[in-house]
Amino acid sequence: MAAPLFDVRALVKRFGASTVVDELSFSIAPGECLGVIGPNGAGKTTTIRMCLGLTAPDSGTISAFGLSMPRDDRAIKAQLGVVAQMDTLDPDFTCAENLLVYGRYFGLKDADIRARTPQLLEFASLTSKANAKPGELSGGMKRRLSLARALVNDPKLLLLDEPTTGLDPQARHLMWERLQALLQQGKSILLTTHFMDEAERLCSRLLVLDHGKCIAQGAPRDLIEQHLEREVVEVYGQGALALADAPVRALASRVEVSGETVFFYTNESAAVLQALGAYPDLRTLHRPANLEDLFLKLTGRQIRDDS
Amino acid sequence: MIYYEFKSYLRNVFGSWGTKMPIDSPPAVSVWRAPQLSLRFWPVFLRNLLVWRKLAIPSLVGNIAEPLMWLVAFGYGMGALVGPMRLGGGEEVPYILFLASGSICMSAMQSASFEALYSAFSRMHVQKTWDGIMNAPVALDDIVLAEMLWAAFKSLFTVTAILVVMLVLGISHSPKLLLAWPILLGVGITFSCIALIFNALANGYDFFTYYFTLFLTPMTFLSGVFFPLEQLPVLVRMVADWLPLSNAVALVRPLFLDQWPTQWLQPALVLLAYALVSFWVALALTRKRFRK
């Protein structure tokens, strides 16, 4: 295996009495897309802030490109591209000016940035908006401008904090397509997300974070195989909840109840489906187990408000 | 070699204690550590300049119209009522000249304060511009320096425009005004440093109203802008003598009268001390604000 591009060892961050990041270790190989998934308040954003040297860890080490944080923070950040959770675009500047001004923060020459600008705008599908201000852009366009801005210094590694939150399906798909293109160019990506389809589609490896701890890690398909049965039968409708204690329960390897829906997890769905045939009034949904099931199994179904 | 021998010596002495502390483990850094300034502040300054260039003319009108209205209304209107002012040295000067030399300092103060409060706060807190910048290789210290210099530059711009109008109106033609110009830049720097402390503490724009009404406005009345400090009771004067604005006026007013300040070192040092201490405090409080 190639030497990691980015390496985090035993990272710990406490705010007062609560430990937000707890002995977290991970690394990113060149060309890899690592996804970090976890409920609100799991420590995703704090981890990214520590990777950028913006928050000082209480212990642990962060090294990247053969340099170490926080000693070489400028040299490391010169090779990173960041898309934060909230857009920080300059509302008074056009798209092209946003790229110019941001490139200057990296010490790039105006002429070099101007030469790269058309290419960056085209990558973000914003060529026709070069002279528009962020206020005139849609949510998806703003995010793509943020992505183009993060690419102004031709970074080796991109840190993306929920890059598609709040976007409509078209805009999300376009963003995914762009990120896949970047991976094909050989860039590495660290991505946090709440969308399991996004994680499954883009990430070669996943880190499941909860209460600041890594509770599982591996390739998306491997994780599903490791932790879940192959299939799920969801049952809902009048009287569905009673099934959780009916004999059909014995046919599934695991049963979960959430709201008005009963989930039968099984490797042999035929028997479960046959038994459910006795309840024609109930609605069933039979599907392969997915990352969302894994996520809910590992982190629980209760709502987290402590974001 | 010596280093490694020393390390193994330490390990022998302290045993496993030494190995538990990785060498790269970051020390707990104090927000009061010395400012770490670099030339990376320049692109941040340029950013503000580029925004301002788009709005310069309308903002200029707003910036100089108000001080000039005060000057004309009070200077000519009140001036006719109060007659010439008798200064400490015994000489008499027209009230408008007295007022102009004080109000130019007030304008430098207000312009720098406004920029370092409302505008800097918009960039820091509302637009999250600073957060975006810090994802690039620019540190918070560089940003605070850039904002400080930017607010001072804007105040110098306002002051220059007002000076030009004063010259056109013939209020003063003292050649020593050339020296007043860099001093007024220093006044702008001092007040932008002070304002940045309150910027670091603010949780909304309303907070700045207190700064202006409870701090800057009373200071204006205690600094000899509208009437000589000699009018004040002795106790109040003892406080007034140490206010940054009264020290600014002490330096600038004689230059308007084509005289040299009788005392220049003390007021200059007072302003410098305000600037240095305030910048350090502002930086520490801003670091604390961003430490999350």
Q: Is the pLDDT of residue B2 over 50?
A: no
Is A38 a domain residue? yes
A64 & A175 share domain: yes
Residue A272: which CATH number? 3.30.70
Residue in A59, A69, A88 nearest the CB of B132? A88
Put simply, the answer to whether B139 touches A74 (Cβ < 8 Å) is yes
pLDDT for the residue B22: 42
Q: Give the per-residue pLDDT at A304.
A: 67
Interface of B with A in 174-193 (CB under 8 A): none
Domain stops at, among A224, A244, A276: A224
A106 touches chain B (CB under 8 A): yes
How confident is the model over A123-147, as pLDDT tens digits?
A: 999 999 999 999 999 999 999 999 9
pTM of the model: 0.88
Are A211 and A254 found together in one domain?
Answer: no
Q: Is residue A296 part of a domain?
A: no
What pLDDT, on the 0 to 100 scale, is given for residue B24?
A: 42
With an 8 Å Cβ cutoff, is B132 touching chain A?
yes
Which of A86-100, A231-245, A262-276 has the highest mean predicted lDDT (pLDDT)?
A86-100
Task: Let me know whether A181 and A262 are in one domain.
Answer: no
Q: Give the closest residue to A43 by CA, choosing from A32, A31, A51, A53.
A: A51
Report the distance separating Cα B68 and Cα A11, nearest Å.
59
How does DSSP assign chain A, residue by residue?
Answer: -PPPSEEEEEEEEEETTEEEEEEEEEEE-TT-EEEEE--TTSSHHHHHHHHTTSS--SEEEEEETTEEETTTHHHHHTTEEEE-SS----TTS-HHHHHHHHHHHTT--HHHHHHHHHHHHHHTT-GGGTT--GGGS-HHHHHHHHHHHHTTT--SEEEEESTTTT--HHHHHHHHHHHHHHHHTT-EEEEEES-HHHHHHH-SEEEEEETTEEEEEE-HHHHHHHHS-SEEEEEESTTGGGGGGSGGGGGSSEEEEETTEEEEEES-HHHHHHHHTT-TTSEEEEEE--HHHHHHHHH-SSPP---
Taking an 8 Å cut-off on Cβ atoms, the answer to whether A56 and B29 are in contact is yes
Cα-based angle A289, A171, B125 (whole degrees, multiple of 5): 105
Closest CA to B267 of B237, B245, B234: B245
- Distance between CA atoms of A267 and B65, rounded to whole angstroms? 79
> What are the pLDDT digits (tens) for A288-304?
888 888 888 888 867 66
Asked if residue B155 lies in contact with residue B58, where contact means CB atoms within 8 angstroms, the answer is no
**Lookup: tokens for B271:** 């302003």
Asked if the structure places residue A66 within a domain, the reply is: yes
A52 touches chain B (CB under 8 A): yes
Sheet holding A67-69, edge to edge: A18-28, A6-15, A59-64, A67-69
Residue type, A156: K
Number of domains present in the structure of chain A: 2
**For the segment B125-144, what is each residue's pLDDT rounded down to a tens digit?**
999 999 999 999 999 999 99
Q: Looking at residue A307, what is its pLDDT?
A: 45
Pairing of strands A67-69, A80-83: unpaired
Q: Would you call B242 exposed, middle or buried from its count of C-beta atoms within 10 A (0-12, 13-18, 19+)?
A: exposed
Would residue A23 count as lying in a domain? yes
Mutation to test the B interface, candidates A23, A72, A105, most B Cβ within 10 Å:
A105
Q: Are residues A239 and A167 in the same domain?
A: no
- Mean confidence (pLDDT) of chain A: 89
User: Which are the contacts of B122, defined by CB distance < 8 A and separation ≥ 6?
Assistant: none
Does some domain include residue A303? no
On the question of pLDDT at A270 being above 70, the answer is yes
Question: A237 and A217 in one domain?
Answer: no
Domain match, A214 and A243 both:
no
Taking the Cβ of residue B19 and every Cβ of chain A, the question of whether any pair is shorter than 8 Å is answered with no
Does residue A67 sit in the same domain as residue A187?
yes
Same domain, A87 and A60: yes
Domain containing A58 equals 6-224
3-class SS of residue B93: strand
Do A17 and A142 fall within a single domain?
yes
Whether residues A234 and A125 share a domain: the answer is: no
Confidence of residue B255 (pLDDT cuts 50, 70, 90): very high
pLDDT at B146 over 80: yes
Q: Which of A283, A170, A207 is nearest to A8 (CA)?
A: A207
B88 interfaces chain A, CB cutoff of 8 Å: no
Quickly state the pLDDT bin for B66 (edges 50, 70, 90): confident
- Asked if residue A273 belongs to a domain, the reply is yes
For B66-79, letters b (16+ CB in 10 Å) and e give ebbebbbebbeeeb
Whether omega before A70 lies within 30 degrees of 0, making that bond cis, reads yes
Write down the ipTM of this complex: 0.88
> In Å, how far from its chain's centre is CA A136?
27
Q: In this model, does residue B13 exceed pLDDT 50?
A: no
Distance CA B196, CA B216 (A): 14
Residue A45: inside a domain: yes
- Which stretch, B84-93, B227-236, B256-265, B275-284, has highest mean pLDDT? B275-284
Domain CATH for A71: 3.40.50.300
> For residues A64 and A158, what is the distance between their CA atoms, to the nearest angstrom?
12
A63 and A87 share a domain? yes
pLDDT tens profile B189-235: 999 999 999 999 999 999 999 999 999 999 999 999 998 888 889 99
The residues with which A214 forms a beta bridge, in sequence order, are A209
Q: Is residue A241 part of a domain?
A: yes
CA torsion sign for A149, A152, A154, A157 is: negative
Coil, helix or strand at residue B106: helix
Lowest mean pLDDT among A59-63, A188-192, A228-232, B127-131: A228-232
3-state secondary structure of B30: coil
**Same structural domain for residues A12 and A134?**
yes
